[in-house]
Structure 1
Amino acid sequence: MTDVLFARAGRAAHITLNRPKALNALTHAMVRRIDEALTGWEHDPAVETVVISGAGERGLCAGGDIRAIHDDARDGDGTASAAFWRDEYHLNARIARFPKPYVALMDGIVMGGGVGVSAHGSVRIVTERSRVAMPETGIGFVPDVGGTHLLALAPGELGTHLALTGAQIGAGDSVLCGLADHYLPSTSLRHFVDDLADLPVRQALDRHVRPAPEGELAGRREWIDSCFASDTVEEIIGRLLAQGDPAAKETAETLLAKSPTSLKVTLAALRRARRLGSLERVLEQEYRVSCAALTAPDLVEGIRAQVIDKDRNPRWSPATLAEVTGADVERFFTSLGERELGLAGPDGAEEVAW
């Protein structure tokens, strides 16, 4: 079976992630093939729109192939994972700068790497089935694929909340947070896609877009913005516990179950992403962080607990927030020298000519 399918229908070209049993998790080969297809379509005047979707009933994409990353970090030297991320992050930047409408059907589960191949697109569609998340802190990792760039741009501290907790959000909250643009009922997706064969994207959208259902985050903005504006994870948790709101207390308990190192590195990465500005510069930072995570114990342990053994009982090291020092965090941001991603030029704009 081919892991990613390509097709043409009228004026639209289609990418279908085709690993439904693995919830369409991305492999290195899939990333390369998508990039090759985009190269051809970018220069093909007959292609006016690109559409990405996922095979099966469960969702667009649950992320990268983290079993392969686990094995590489545990038994290898990390070069395979670093090479995967290098090509994946270049693809994320390319999607963001793609000169033709790039329509992402974010139906069902869209997490991690799935966000990377969708939420950087120019037309992002969610449905009542959408469950969007960056859950990396739960596996001893840090939001990547440009996720810290997207979440740093979310209103107030909603992005900080989502990055640290890994919470799944639906259609309304995805639009609110800037991870999606339009809501369509899932029953309209096929008709919408059919229309893209003959119509410009705007006309097809006008036929099918509906008001997004109300989410949950808007009603929690006051305590989310107040608590997550703190400078340290410890202070965030302290403020959450002091709120008196059951949802805030539950959020604090969620954070306390995550990797302490991942939480602190994620908070630092988000704050720095706001200052870095461009997606390309943030992706460069994420590449440093991801490569550093390969040599830290929590990534292998987190994937083991959540995906391999599924005992849901990770033994984090260090085990508490108090034990994670500033030096521990700073190590993740150290320059890679000649191994840098090299995506941005001196002005922060993308340097690579696609």
Structure 2
Amino acid sequence: MTTTSEHVLLRTEGRAAYVTLNRPGALNALTHSMVHRIDAALTAWEHDPAVEHVVITGAGERGLCAGGDIRSIHEDARSSAGVASADFFRDEYRLNARIARYPKPYVAVMDGIVMGGGVGVSAHGTVRIVTERSRVAMPETGIGFVPDVGGTYLLGLAPGELGTHLALTGAAVGAADALLCGLADHHVPSALLPGLVADLARAPVHDVLARHVRPAPGGELAAWRGWIDHCYAADTVEEIVDRLLDSGVPAAKDAAVTLLAKSPTALKVTLAALRRARALGPLEHVLEQEYRVACAALSHPDLVEGIRAQVIDKDRTPRWSPTTLAEVGDEDVDRFFAPSGGRGLGLVTTVFPQEVPW
């Protein structure tokens, strides 16, 4: 029988400390106890002079991590108004901030599927490694949620409007496009990963990378920058959809069709969160905003309905409320950013910049 602690395997060898996410049957989806175990390990290793760097990998053949355990979030939002999920988000986002500021190299092996919370425990690291098998995404709008775990921070830094495209559509990108968008640093063929992981116990990170990094196979986004930058620079989601449909580019039309299947509320809140994130500055400020938005989403019907349709019943026919973009007004979006009665992450002691509208 697998115990909770066995969902995160920890070991040290030579220079390295290793974290292995170990729920392969659930694609290593994160639970609250897993977040606590990772955080405690980082605390111990931070003060261990024998540990020079930390390496995170995922068990199984499918990927590093598919995100948070959304089945648990679904049940909690339905039965307990999302209280436990808000606590989970708080500790998860604090862990994301810790990874970004960790004083030792944090090496994330982003092989296979890396989505949602999986991005949070990898793409904030010091060294982010993708392979030809990598599929990196923030697919939250498809379940009535918004990109979180620092996702709006990372996507806000992507060149042009690439981050807006990925945030709204939830599209998964391969190695080259993850590198282009700043979600990863190096490509290593998956066949070389066992050697790379083993070598990290024996040598400094830069020496190991020099032996294993290879050019990434080609991507798509660089060739799409023209229509992406034009269409997603629009002020509203409605105008973005119109520009995509009018562009005459088949891939752009496909993106519009994808957007029209997502939660209208989630799309509008995501666009606002991404634009605001660009003005907030450090990651910690953006995570505080994401926590407000995530807690608000727990009480919105689209999150429960989206998870039901995609994960629980798997009928893939969510009934969004409201059903159209036109029905989601500015006041509906603003509610997601409203002060949350003092509840926050405690990551920053200063107020948000005054020029950012709340």
* TM-score of the two chains, using structure 2 as the length reference: 0.96
Which residue of the other structure, out of 173, 181, 195, is the alignment partner of 1:169?
173
Q: Describe the SS at the equivalent of 1:339.
A: coil
Which residue of the other structure, out of 18, 36, 40, is the alignment partner of 2:40?
36
Residue type of the alignment partner of 2:141: T
Which residue of the other structure, out of 74, 77, 81, is the alignment partner of 2:78?
74
Equivalence for 2:356: none
The count of residues paired between Structure 1 and Structure 2 equals 348
Matching of residue 318 in structure 1 with residue 322 in structure 2 = yes
Equivalence for 2:261: 257
Residue type of the alignment partner of 2:194: R
CA-to-partner distance for each residue in 1:221-280, whole Å, 9 max, x for gaps? 000000000110000000000000111101000000000000000000000000001100
Identity of aligned residues (%): 75
Q: Distance in 1 between matches of 2:61 and 2:344?
A: 38
Matching of residue 235 in structure 1 with residue 239 in structure 2 = yes
Q: Describe the SS at the equivalent of 2:334.
A: helix
Equivalence for 1:352: none
Which residue of the other structure, out of 52, 57, 61, is the alignment partner of 1:53?
57
Q: Describe the SS at the equivalent of 1:332.
A: helix
Superposition pairs of residues 85-234 of structure 1, within 5 angstroms? 85-234=89-238
Q: How far has the Cα of 1:9 moved from its partner?
A: 1.3
CA-to-partner distance for each residue in 1:91-122, whole Å, 9 max, x for gaps? 00000000100000000000000000000000
Equivalence for 2:15: 11
Q: How far has the Cα of 1:208 moved from its partner?
A: 0.5
Q: How far has the Cα of 1:341 moved from its partner?
A: 1.8
Superposition pairs of residues 240-319 of structure 1, within 5 angstroms? 240-319=244-323
Q: Distance in 1 between matches of 2:130 and 2:292?
A: 31
Q: Distance in 2 between matches of 1:295 and 1:337?
A: 15
Q: Describe the SS at the equivalent of 2:43.
A: helix
Q: How far has the Cα of 1:345 moved from its partner?
A: 2.6
CA-to-partner distance for each residue in 1:130-178, whole Å, 9 max, x for gaps? 0000000000000000000000000000000000000010000000000
RMSD of aligned alpha carbons: 0.8
Residue type of the alignment partner of 2:235: D
Q: Describe the SS at the equivalent of 2:28.
A: coil
Q: Which runs of 4+ in 1 moved over 3 A?
A: none
Structure 1 runs not aligned, ≥5 long: 349-354
Q: How far has the Cα of 1:347 moved from its partner?
A: 7.9
Q: Distance in 2 between matches of 1:316 and 1:95?
A: 35
Q: Distance in 2 between matches of 1:114 and 1:84?
A: 14
Equivalence for 2:333: 329
Q: How far has the Cα of 1:194 moved from its partner?
A: 1.0
Q: How far has the Cα of 1:219 moved from its partner?
A: 0.3
Q: How far has the Cα of 1:337 moved from its partner?
A: 2.5
Q: Distance in 2 between matches of 1:113 and 1:294?
A: 16
CA-to-partner distance for each residue in 1:14-68, whole Å, 9 max, x for gaps? 0000000000000000000000000000010000010000000000000000000
Q: Distance in 1 between matches of 2:132 and 2:218?
A: 11
Is the Cα contact below 8 Å between 2:90 and 2:344 reproduced in 1?
no
Structure 2 runs not aligned, ≥5 long: 353-358
Residue type of the alignment partner of 1:332: F
Is the Cα contact below 8 Å between 2:244 and 2:253 reproduced in 1?
yes
Q: Distance in 2 between matches of 1:320 and 1:235?
A: 14
Residue type of the alignment partner of 2:34: M
Q: Describe the SS at the equivalent of 2:12.
A: strand
